[in-house]
């Protein structure tokens, strides 16, 4: 009958590998208990991590199938604990994820044990005795159990020695360590190459021969202590190398029992503590050098683990963002990557290479930084990425300069076109004036003067816009009488309205009292809106009486100022762009800075400005201002 393997709680990958392996090896494979009640040969059980639940489950399986071999599967980080907890129930463990080679070796070994047990039963039932071949097989199995104990103990000791010294395993690979096996009568029967290198060939020698001082006797040597206590011992002792040099060592010894419970051998593992101290000193010096370099780098540096937790930061980082060790990197800096495909963190974790991206980070307080972010992997000995070094250079100022230069270039281009148009207009006005005087035609002189005046006004507006944009000045907040402000604005535009046949009305309504504002800047914004309204009413394709209204009214703790016209109006696209830099609905007649500056001035006062408009139906610009300037704005102005 074919051997049968039952998998319980196996994950999808393990189940797939077991199924493939069993198919190749000629074994039956199942994921549910057989209905015929036949006990499977091997049960592969994946541990859940809950010790109480796992133990009940294993005991239930063992009760149901007392002759079945159990193979327990656990994740690598918890393997050691699982082996310690369940070694009384089984000696067979595999790690997750499992590979085909491990399955082949493990299953071959288990089936050999099953075959030996079956032969033993058969021999006992037939003749009441055990054959030499079966006895040899059993001896081989016994030796295998012994080797497993040795490997388990050795792994445990190496980990323990690493913990015994500050810095752990990082010193261990550079430190001489010695492994030897001793009999119960204190004789060395095996040792590793490292042992032989430092002490020579000690096979058959006494267990205490390498020690001097307190540990140099049969009873006080590390092996002697374990023989007396029957337990694992940790001993600080001194040894003498074959060169004659003496050095302190840390020694771990442990008993190895046979199947009858008798202590048969003692495993001894030791490591030179002097070399460890020397390595610690060298490593500390090196760490100090690297720490100085780490702190001296002018960029922001953070080290994050695989879960993006910050494990270290340099001084520049601390000065700007504080010591955020332990925090999630993306809790400190809101994520600025659209997806994993463009995130340098995920790329570095995936391919183990450095990556770079220019992006924007939002830091605590809402401030935005333009940064050049670079990631570099920190790998373990096997090449696995265990940490990521994150270096980001703040290039916000550089991008602001580039934006400023780009904007200035665009501004000069716009201004040049405007000056060209203004000069053409001045030429036309001067031509009319010249021809009017030459031919004594007063009408042409008046027409030329009107054109020249208009061009002079355009030059004035353009220069004021450029000067404000090039160097915005701080607000000069003072109490401003709102009715006086509206009257001054109306007084300045009324003559222009009359010459252009535009009906003009202004109304202060219930707006009385004062507001805190920069009077000159606020007046220039209102005049700019009125000038734009006049330009909108000069559209040649519209044939109707044009009207412009300037109104103001109180709204609790705010003031609302409106400029309304029935001119050409704007499309939805024009409305969305009207407050943008260098956008103008007037073509080459405007700089595209007027409404942008107006919006900046109103926002600087803590207010808002909006536009309602539709094509050929006119526009309404509404300014809303607080009567009392916000404290945040006052503090900036006072500074």
pLDDT in tens, 340-367: 567 888 888 888 888 888 877 776 666 7
Is the domain of 488 the same as that of 633?
A: yes
Q: Helices 100-127 and 12-25, interaxial angle, to 10°? A: 50
The answer to whether residue 434 is domain-embedded is yes
The answer to whether residue 290 is domain-embedded is no
Q: What is the DSSP string of 44-113?
A: EEE--S-HHHHHHHHHHHHHH-TTSEEEEEEEGGGHHHHHHHHTTT-S-EEEES--HHHHHHHHHHHHHH
Is the domain of 275 the same as that of 157?
A: yes
Inter-residue contact 340 to 326 (CB < 8 Å): no
Is the domain of 418 the same as that of 512?
A: no
Is the domain of 629 the same as that of 484?
A: yes
Pairing, β 300-305 against β 310-313? antiparallel
Mean pLDDT value of segment 428-455: 80
Is the domain of 622 the same as that of 482?
A: yes
Last residue of a domain, one of 96, 130, 164: 130
The answer to whether residue 187 is domain-embedded is yes
The answer to whether residue 95 is domain-embedded is yes
CATH code for the domain of 270: 3.30.450.20
Question: Considering the chain, what percentage of its residues have pLDDT values greater than 70?
Answer: 73
Last residue of a domain, one of 130, 162, 184: 130
Task: Measure Cα distances from 322 to 94, 189, 302 in Å.
Answer: 45, 59, 12
Mean pLDDT value of segment 48-71: 85
The answer to whether residue 137 is domain-embedded is no
Is the domain of 502 the same as that of 595?
A: yes
Prediction pTM value? 0.37
pLDDT at residue 340, rounded to an integer: 58
CA distance 404 to 630: 29
CA dihedral 49, 52, 58, 63 (to 10 degrees): -170
CA distance 310 to 330: 10
pLDDT at residue 167, rounded to an integer: 44
Is the domain of 495 the same as that of 621?
A: yes
Q: Report residue 468's pLDDT band, with 50, 70 and 90 as the boundaries.
A: low
Last residue of a domain, one of 423, 450, 470: 470
Is the domain of 386 the same as that of 426?
A: no
CATH code for the domain of 64: 3.40.50.2300
Inter-residue contact 151 to 259 (CB < 8 Å): no
pLDDT at residue 147, rounded to an integer: 45
The answer to whether residue 291 is domain-embedded is no
Q: Helices 442-470 and 396-439, interaxial angle, to 10°? A: 170
Task: Measure Cα distances from 20 to 1, 41, 216, 560 in Å.
Answer: 19, 17, 57, 79
Q: Report residue 155's pLDDT band, with 50, 70 and 90 as the boundaries.
A: very low
- Of these ranges, 6-10, 111-115, 138-142, 255-259, the one predicted with the greatest mean pLDDT is 6-10
pLDDT at residue 277, rounded to an integer: 56
Is the domain of 389 the same as that of 420?
A: no
**Residue 282 CB partners (closer than 8 Å, separation 6+):** none
Is the domain of 270 the same as that of 334?
A: no
Q: Establish whether the linkage from the previous residue to 64 is cis, with ω within 30° of 0.
A: no
On the question of pLDDT at 460 being above 80, the answer is no
The answer to whether residue 294 is domain-embedded is no
Q: Is 260 exposed, middle or buried (0-12, 13-18, 19+ CB in 10 A)?
A: exposed
Is the domain of 81 the same as that of 184?
A: no
Q: Report residue 173's pLDDT band, with 50, 70 and 90 as the boundaries.
A: very low
Domain extent at residue 204? 151-279
Mean pLDDT value of segment 158-163: 52
Domain count, the chain: 5
Is the domain of 630 the same as that of 482?
A: yes
Mean pLDDT value of segment 76-89: 79
pLDDT digits (tens, 9 = 90+) for 549-563: 999 988 888 899 999
The answer to whether residue 322 is domain-embedded is no
């Amino acid at each position: 009958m074919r051997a049968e393997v039952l998998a319980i709680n196996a994950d999808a990958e393990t189940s797939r590998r077991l199924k493939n392996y069993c198919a190749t090896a000629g074994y039956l494979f199942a994921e549910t208990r057989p209905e015929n009640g036949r006990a499977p040969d091997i049960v592969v059980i994946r541990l859940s991590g809950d010790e109480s639940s796992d133990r009940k489950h294993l005991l239930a399986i063992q009760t149901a199938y007392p002759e079945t071999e159990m193979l327990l599967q656990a994740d690598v980080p918890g393997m050691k604990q699982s082996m310690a907890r369940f070694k009384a129930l089984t000696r067979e463990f595999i790690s997750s994820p499992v590979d085909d080679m491990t399955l082949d070796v493990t299953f071959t070994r288990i089936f050999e044990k099953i075959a030996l047990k079956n032969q033993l039963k058969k021999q006992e039932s037939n003749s009441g005795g055990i054959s030499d071949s079966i006895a040899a097989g059993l001896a081989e199995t016994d030796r295998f159990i012994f080797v497993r104990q040795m490997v388990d103990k050795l792994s445990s000791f190496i980990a323990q020695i690493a913990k015994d010294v500050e810095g752990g395993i990082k010193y261990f690979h550079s430190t001489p360590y010695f492994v030897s096996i001793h009999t119960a009568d204190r004789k060395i029967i095996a040792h590793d190459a490292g042992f032989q290198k430092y002490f020579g060939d000690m096979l058959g020698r006494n267990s205490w021969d390498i020690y001097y001082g307190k540990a140099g006797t049969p009873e006080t040597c590390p092996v002697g202590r374990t023989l007396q206590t029957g337990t694992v011992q940790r001993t600080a002792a001194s040894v003498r190398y074959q060169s004659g040099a003496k050095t302190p060592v840390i020694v771990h010894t442990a008993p190895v029992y046979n199947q009858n419970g008798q202590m048969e051998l003692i495993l001894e593992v030791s490591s030179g503590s002097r070399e460890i101290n020397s390595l610690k000193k060298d490593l500390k010096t090196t760490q100090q050098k690297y720490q100085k370099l780490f702190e001296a780098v002018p960029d922001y540096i953070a080290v994050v683990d695989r879960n993006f937790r910050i494990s270290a930061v340099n001084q520049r980082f601390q000065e700007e963002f504080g010591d955020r060790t332990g925090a999630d990197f993306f809790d400190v800096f809101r994520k600025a990557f659209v997806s994993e495909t463009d995130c340098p963190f995920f790329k570095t974790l995936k391919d183990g290479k450095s990556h770079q991206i220019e992006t924007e980070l939002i830091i605590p307080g809402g401030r935005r930084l333009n940064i050049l972010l670079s990631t570099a992997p920190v790998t373990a000995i096997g090449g696995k990425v265990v940490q990521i070094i994150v270096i980001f250079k703040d290039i916000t100022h550089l991008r602001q300069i580039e934006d400023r230069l780009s904007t200035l270039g665009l501004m000069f281009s716009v201004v040049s076109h405007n000056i060209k148009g203004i000069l053409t207009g001045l030429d036309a006005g001067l031509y009319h004036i010249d021809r009017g005087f030459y031919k004594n035609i007063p009408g042409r002189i008046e027409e030329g003067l009107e054109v020249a005046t208009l061009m002079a006004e355009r030059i004035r507006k353009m220069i004021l816009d450029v000067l404000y944009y090039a160097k915005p000045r701080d607000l000069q907040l003072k109490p401003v009488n709102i009715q006086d402000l509206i009257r001054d604005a109306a007084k300045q535009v009324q003559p222009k309205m009359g010459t252009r046949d535009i009906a003009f009305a202004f109304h202060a309504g219930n707006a009385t009292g004062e507001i805190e504002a920069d009077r000159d800047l606020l007046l220039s914004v209102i005049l700019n809106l009125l000038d734009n309204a006049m330009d909108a009413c000069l559209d040649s394709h519209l044939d109707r009486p044009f009207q412009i209204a300037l109104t103001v009214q109180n709204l609790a703790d705010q003031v609302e100022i409106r400029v309304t016209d029935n001119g050409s109006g704007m499309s939805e696209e024009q409305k969305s762009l009207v407050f943008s830099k260098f956008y103008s609905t007037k073509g080459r007649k405007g700089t595209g800075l007027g409404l942008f500056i107006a919006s900046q001035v109103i926002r600087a006062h803590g207010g808002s400005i909006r536009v309602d408009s539709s094509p050929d139906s006119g526009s309404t610009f509404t300014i809303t201002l607080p009567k009392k300037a916000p404290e945040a704005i006052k503090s900036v102005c006072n500074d």
